[in-house]
Structure 1
Amino acid sequence: MAGCMGKEDRLSRITAGVILLGFAALTGNPIGWLGAVCLVTGIAGWCPIYGPLGIDTCHGGHEEHH
């Protein structure tokens, strides 16, 4: 399934999301709200950008297109 995320990818997105949201809450900097995107895609285990790029970190990287 294109767009699928592996365990390490999901964990790094969730971690980055929590850090960025904390940054936004503490500083009021709107850039930190991008953490919501990281958090949601990490929890869902699917990234809409990965599909068109043929990236699938569930199964070791890029899918082959025939």
Structure 2
Amino acid sequence: MQKNVGGIDKTLRIIVGIAIIAYGVVAQSWLGVIGIIPLATGLIGWCPLYCPLKINTSCKKESCEKKEE
């Protein structure tokens, strides 16, 4: 499993995940359970939806330079 979630993407996923979970707790709604998905993908650094879409926001300098050449 190669990481495909980069820095800003990872940070946003964690923040959004926590916000959705907090909303679910405050509103006493099961909607907060959905927040586990962005939180988990942010913490793990891998998004299963990115694979079929061929998206990779985790770009190391070496791998980016090799792709450009």
TM-score range (shorter-chain normalised) is 0.7 to 0.9
Q: 1:44 to 1:10 in 2, by over 3 A?
A: same
TM-score with structure 1 length normalisation?
0.81
Structure 1's unaligned 5+ residue stretches are none
Q: How far apart are 1:2 and its partner, in Å?
A: 6.6
What residue identity is the alignment partner of 1:37? I
What residue identity is the alignment partner of 1:44? I
Name the counterpart of 1:21: 21
Query: Contact (CA 8 Å) 1:18, 1:35: kept in 2 or not?
Result: yes
Name the counterpart of 1:52: 52
> Which of the two has greater strand per residue?
1
Aligned partner of residue 15 in structure 1, secondary structure: helix
Cα root mean square deviation, aligned: 2.1
Name the counterpart of 1:12: 12
Quick check: which has more Rg, 1 or 2? 2
Q: Percent identity?
A: 33
Q: How far apart are 1:29 and its partner, in Å?
A: 2.2
Name the counterpart of 2:42: 42
TM-score with structure 2 length normalisation?
0.77
